[in-house]
């Protein structure tokens, strides 16, 4: 059996079945594909070589969130037609499969991709086509058919934006121009509600595996509570909810995510324990507020989608993984799962995130397994609950086979 002092190898971590519940499609393109699509579609890039793009856009470290987000301008610019959407999605699925990620919930903001050439439906159908093609290729392989390894499953999460500008897409430009008598803060929630309605309709009428609704984008000045109507709509139609909160704003943002928006999961949640980050003057006892909030999250098993590399990149105040708030989340027994956020922009993989986490926080074998399996359990799985249970059981069985192969006997406590 493994002891605390050993480290987990990348080989082991890439072989165990994994999930990714927080990953943006438009932040996870293959760099070679981005360059190729840009050339074909005459999209201007700062460089047309991979090394040039790594130097200028997709870096190892960023100065701040703004610099981190700069690259999305290019990725979304090439994803403006169904062929590009499908290709990116197909390759994305294979990149996950190839590192042992057998369950993925990919998210993106469809409204960033709508234009005169593709509708909301076209965008979502194209993404699903790409994911499905990869799934079909992989799931018909003999090793999957014979249950030697879990099949690949996926769900799509549609992201609404806390804030957007006309320049973000043709759709948003139109949205602003037809609401010219409304204030921007009134326009953002309208776009969210429209997206929630589209997501439910396309799920129900087209059979697309849209499993969740998300809120992304700038937190400061653009509170989640403004989007309550879209989330209430999602709730009434059993579309599950996750919200980016506490990534670049304090605990109030997480509070809104789980109260006004009733999120089952929280993206990042980094500032959950940051008493000093509370801005709301009406909160008198800030310690009590944070304690009550984190206790509720722990007890209700609201899952925090932890993105270590991304947090370090967008928040230079976090000096090392060891000083990440995950340490406190773990002490508080919170439900957590490790995610990539963006495979290209963060230059990472699920294997890499687990490698950093397991070897920094020194997980016991049991704890590592629990965290990985929790990603599957807290997923917004597209099939029935019975299917989900069977699938998770198969994942656990496979996890234990790999564990045995690498470390011999299995921890008896697990039995």
Interacting residues toward Zn ion by CB under 5 A: 341
Q: Do 132 and 94 touch, CB atoms closer than 8 A? A: no
Distances (CA, A) of 219 to 223, 224, 244, 380: 6, 8, 8, 24
Q: Provide, rounded to whole angstroms, the least separation between the CB of residue 399 and Zn ion.
A: 26
User: Which runs of consecutive H residues, i.e. helices, occur in 300-377?
Assistant: 308-314, 326-331, 350-361, 365-377
Q: Provide, rounded to whole angstroms, the least separation between the CB of residue 36 and Zn ion.
A: 25
- Of 105 and 341, nearer to Zn ion (C-beta) is 341
Please give the residue whose beta carbon sits closest to Zn ion in the complex. 341
- Of 252 and 341, nearer to Zn ion (C-beta) is 341
| 253-288 residues labelled b (16+ CB within 10 A) or e (exposed) | bbbbbbebbbbbbbbbbbbbbbbebbeeeebeebee
Q: Specify the length of the chain in residues.
A: 415
- Of 14 and 28, nearer to Zn ion (C-beta) is 28
- Of 99 and 341, nearer to Zn ion (C-beta) is 341
Q: Provide, rounded to whole angstroms, the least separation between the CB of residue 356 and Zn ion.
A: 17
Q: Provide, rounded to whole angstroms, the least separation between the CB of residue 113 and Zn ion.
A: 17
Q: Provide, rounded to whole angstroms, the least separation between the CB of residue 224 and Zn ion.
A: 14
Q: Which two tokens stand for residue 336?
A: 């957590």
Rounded to the nearest 10 degrees, the angle between the axes of helix 350-361 and helix 365-377 is: 140
- Of 26 and 341, nearer to Zn ion (C-beta) is 341
Helix/strand/coil percentages in the chain, nearest 5: 55, 10, 35
Q: Which two tokens stand for residue 244?
A: 């980016």
- Of 12 and 62, nearer to Zn ion (C-beta) is 62
Q: Provide, rounded to whole angstroms, the least separation between the CB of residue 34 and Zn ion.
A: 19
């Amino acid at each position: 059996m493994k002891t605390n002092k050993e480290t987990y190898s990348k080989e082991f971590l890439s072989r165990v079945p994994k999930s990714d519940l927080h990953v943006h499609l438009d932040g996870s393109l293959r760099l070679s594909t981005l360059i190729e699509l840009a050339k074909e579609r005459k999209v201007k890039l700062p460089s047309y070589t991979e090394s040039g793009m790594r130097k200028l856009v997709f870096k190892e470290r960023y100065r701040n969130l703004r610099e981190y987000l700069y690259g999305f301008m290019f990725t979304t610019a090439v994803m403006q037609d169904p062929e590009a959407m499908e290709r990116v999605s197909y390759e994305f699925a294979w990149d996950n499969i190839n590192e042992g990620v057998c369950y993925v919930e990919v998210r993106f903001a469809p409204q960033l991709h709508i234009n005169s050439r593709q509708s909301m439906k076209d965008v979502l159908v194209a993404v699903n086509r790409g994911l499905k093609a990869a799934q079909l290729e992989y799931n018909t392989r003999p090793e999957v058919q014979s249950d030697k390894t879990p099949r690949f499953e996926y769900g799509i999460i549609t992201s609404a934006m806390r804030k957007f500008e006309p320049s973000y897409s043709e759709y948003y430009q139109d949205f602003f121009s037809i609401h010219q008598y409304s204030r921007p803060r009134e326009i953002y929630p309208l776009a969210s509600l429209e997206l929630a309605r589209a997501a439910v309709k396309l799920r129900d009428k087209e059979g697309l595996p849209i499993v969740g609704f998300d809120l992304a984008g700038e937190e400061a000045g653009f509170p989640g509570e403004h989007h309550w109507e879209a989330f209430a709509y999602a709730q009434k139609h059993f579309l599950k909810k996750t919200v980016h909160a506490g990534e670049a704003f304090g605990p109030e943002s997480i509070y809104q995510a789980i109260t006004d928006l009733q999120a089952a999961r929280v993206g990042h949640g980094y500032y959950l324990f940051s008493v000093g980050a509370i801005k709301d003057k009406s909160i008198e006892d800030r310690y009590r507020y944070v304690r009550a909030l984190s206790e509720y999250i722990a007890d209700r098993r609201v899952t925090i989608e932890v993105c270590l590399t991304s947090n370090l990149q967008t928040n230079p105040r976090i000096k090392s993984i060891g000083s990440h708030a995950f340490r406190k989340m773990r002490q508080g027994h919170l439900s957590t799962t490790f995610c990539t956020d963006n495979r290209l922009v963060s230059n990472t993989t699920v294997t890499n995130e687990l490698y950093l986490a397991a070897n920094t926080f020194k997980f016991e074998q049991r704890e590592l397994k629990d965290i990985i399996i929790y990603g599957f359990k807290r997923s917004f799985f597209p099939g029935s609950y019975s299917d989900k249970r069977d699938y998770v059981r198969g994942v656990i069985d496979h996890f234990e086979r790999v564990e045995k192969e690498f470390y011999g006997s299995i921890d008896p406590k697990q039995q």
